[in-house]
Structure 1
Amino acid sequence: MYAIMTVTGADSTGIIAAVTTTLAELDINIVDVSQTLMSGYFTMILRVEFDDAAVTIPEIQERMNPVAEAKQQSIRIQSESLFTAMNEI
């Protein structure tokens, strides 16, 4: 299954490391990533692939919540199909 994860908030050291380490622990592959920094504000969008029989989107979100809190970021994940449907004109 493919999903889209967004990470946003004030920039600080270790955001990428914390997010990607947690994804690796869940055996989630990063297929594509884009990140930018503007005026101290960090934004990263990841397209990830995982076995939805092994881990679900709610479980991934639950595992990312402590990362978001520790790094003072907003981290959200949703299925790629839902993300696409919500962002099409």
Structure 2
Amino acid sequence: MTWLRRGFFYQEAASAGSVEAMVAVGKTYDPVILDQLEIKGFHPDPVKAAEWYLQAKDKAADPQSIERLEALRNWLSNSSVLGESEMSNLKRLLY
């Protein structure tokens, strides 16, 4: 199954309430994960990643979502690639 098709599968499962799928969808947008996996051709969206991780955290206090949110906080403190609006939105979600 390709990365993109997996994303659609996880999106459907997340919409149905699967916490694990919420985290998986978040990872498809996560700049930290995409960089670690050396995924090329996908534009990371840290705001969307944080939104999915927060849904998983709020639904079940999922430990992996909490870990991913912390990784995004660390990434944000060391990142200069975001525009002002995107940075503001991400900070609102993470802090």
TM-score, normalised with respect to structure 2 = 0.34
The structure with more helix, counted as a fraction of residues = 2
User: Larger relative CO (CA 8 A, sep 6+): 1 or 2?
Assistant: 1
